[in-house]
Amino acid sequence: MSQARLSPGVHSGRLSADELARNFSDVAPPLDAHEARVAADRCYFCHDAPCIIACPTSIDIPLFIRQIATGTPDAAAMTIFHANILGGMCARVCPTENLCEGACVRMEAEGDPVRIGALQRFATDGLMAREGHPFRRAAPTGRRVAVIGAGPAGLSCAHRLAAKGHDVVIFEARPKPGGLNEYGIASYKTVDGFAAAEVEWLLGIGGIELRHSQLLGDQMTLEALRAEFDAVFLGMGLGGVNALRTEGEERANVLDAVAFIRDLRQAGDLGVLPVGRDVVVIGGGMTAVDAAVQSRLLGAENVTIVYRRGQDRMSASLHEQDHATSSGVRIICNAAPVAIHGNGAVAEVEFAYTEDGPDGLVLTDQRFRLKADQCFRAIGQRLEGVPVGLVLEGGKIAVTGPGRSSLDRVWAGGDCAAGGNDLTVTAVAEGRDAAEDIHALLTGGDNG
């Protein structure tokens, strides 16, 4: 065992290159043709299938599985893409046990659903590996739409608009498109640069101009965009990170989990990424799990997720929680941070056990401390840089119907819009539905 592995503090190179490569390989390797055929044969082709209803993008799952079973996986992929142009990424990151697979009647029958996510990946991977883009654009309409953010919502909206014949300009604040797909998802869920490849494939439809390093409010204003374009879609996600508001939060090595995940995704060499020997992650969502598991995979010896409420309230799915615990992450529930101790850098995090009562969460007198040389905040993100004039709801852009904001000819969708559930697939649905609404208004003469 190398010395680096056990040295306290935040260091890079705890594991060998081989170990890192193994740890960060595809967490759910793709089905081969035989596996797909066997899995597809289990679908009952239900009437008014519960899996379709459970899918935020309403993919016709029984149809695409039947298309796989009958030897036409490309047709299956088109069934998926017509509903969800980011079906490839969703196949990798959807919490399927809470969505389609959780609703599968095979759960009722045998407690073992049809492997819908894996089958979706099989179909979409196959078609995306082919030359060219499978959708064609309608005749040009001469209309132009601005899309803010090249994340799942913006990309979905842009693709649907382009398909309808409109010209789209996407303004992306970061140097690369993809949003959370590119910057915010654990590396082992989307290996081999899939997020970037998917965006490139999506843009293959044509009619979409991507301008990067364009932050709304800095490089352009909503006012100017509304003047220049026929419609604007806001899909900029959540740029801010919630603070713990805990004493000692300013100490060194108390970091945002999203930044850690982003840096890991963008790192060329995982061996240079520093990670603690004792890592504490505060939060209960996918971000917490992604940060915790990847800390372990980078070589942290002890990683603990601490969540302030009961396990049933964790927004990370059970599958994600199982993945964390089977990766050696400990999960402590019903405990909230009260102080971060240390001399300059974090050394310990102090927690109080909580009780979830009728008046909300209350801290008890029961305290404990966890050794920590690195602590990640993963307690949610918030909307930043909201343009003036937009009505908000719960800190997000208020929308009615298919993403209509309070401003004329301005739509919003994805994480920045109120009412969603922070899932990639929901963002895709919202972007798509807003595009349909924009198209209807732009072509129906009812666009003010």
Partner 1 sequence: MADLRSDFIGIRSPNPFWLASAPPTDKEYNVRRAFQAGWGGVVWKTLGSEGPPVVNVNGPRYGVVHGADRRVLGLNNIELITDRPLEVNLREIKSVKRDYPDRALVISLMVPCDEDSWKAILAAVEDTGADGVELNFGCPHGMSERGMGSAVGQVPEYIEMVTRWVKQHSRMPCIVKLTPNITDIRKPAEAAKRGGADAVSLINTVNSITSVDLDLFAPEPTIDGRGAHGGYCGPAVKPIALNMVAEIARSPETRGLPISGIGGVTTWRDAAEFLALGAGNVQVCTAAMTYGFKVVQEMITGLRDYLDGHAMELGDLIGRAVPNVTDWNRLNLNYVTKAVIDQDACIKCGRCFAACEDTSHQAIAMKPGRVFEVIEEECVACNLCVDICPVENCITMRELAPGEVDRRTGLGRGDYANWTTHPNNPMAKAAE
Pairwise CA distance, residues 228 & 148, whole Å: 14
Minimum distance, C-beta of residue 45 to partner 1, in the bound complex (Å): 7
> Environment class of residue 135 by beta-carbon count within 10 Å: exposed (0-12), middle (13-18) or buried (19+)?
middle
Pairwise CA distance, residues 150 & 210, whole Å: 8
> Is residue 106 at the binding interface for partner 1, with CB under 8 A as the rule?
yes
Assigned token pair, 428: 């895709």
> Is residue 363 at the binding interface for partner 1, with CB under 8 A as the rule?
no
Q: Which is nearer to partner 1, 44 or 368 (CB)?
A: 44
> Is residue 48 at the binding interface for partner 1, with CB under 8 A as the rule?
yes
Pairwise CA distance, residues 248 & 350, whole Å: 10
Q: Which is nearer to partner 1, 41 or 393 (CB)?
A: 41
Minimum distance, C-beta of residue 83 to partner 1, in the bound complex (Å): 20
Q: Contacts with partner 1: how many residues (CB under 8 A)?
A: 14
For residue 381, what is the enclosing H or E element?
Answer: strand 381-382
> Among 38-46, 297-305, 343-351, 386-394, which window interacts with partner 1 (CB under 8 A)?
38-46
Pairwise CA distance, residues 71 & 392, whole Å: 48
> Is residue 112 at the binding interface for partner 1, with CB under 8 A as the rule?
no
Q: Which is nearer to partner 1, 58 or 311 (CB)?
A: 58
Q: Are 125 and 30 in contact (CB under 8 A)?
A: yes
Closest CA to 410 of 57, 143, 145, 160: 145
> Is residue 66 at the binding interface for partner 1, with CB under 8 A as the rule?
no
Minimum distance, C-beta of residue 120 to partner 1, in the bound complex (Å): 20
Please tell me the total number of residues recorded for the chain in this structure.
448
**Could you say which DSSP state residue 145 is in?**
E
For residue 294, what is the enclosing H or E element?
Answer: helix 286-298
Binding residue for partner 1, selected from 17, 109, 267, 392, defined by CB under 8 A: 109
> Is residue 44 at the binding interface for partner 1, with CB under 8 A as the rule?
yes
Q: Which is nearer to partner 1, 52 or 257 (CB)?
A: 52
Binding residue for partner 1, selected from 10, 15, 20, 49, defined by CB under 8 A: 49
Other Cβ atoms closer than 10 A to 363: 15
Torsion of CA 12, 14, 18, 24, to 10 degrees: -70
> Among 100-108, 203-211, 232-240, 410-418, which window interacts with partner 1 (CB under 8 A)?
100-108
Binding residue for partner 1, selected from 1, 3, 18, 47, defined by CB under 8 A: 47
Pairwise CA distance, residues 318 & 316, whole Å: 7
> Is residue 382 at the binding interface for partner 1, with CB under 8 A as the rule?
no
Residues in touch with partner 1 (CB under 8 A): 37-38, 41, 44-50, 105-106, 108-109
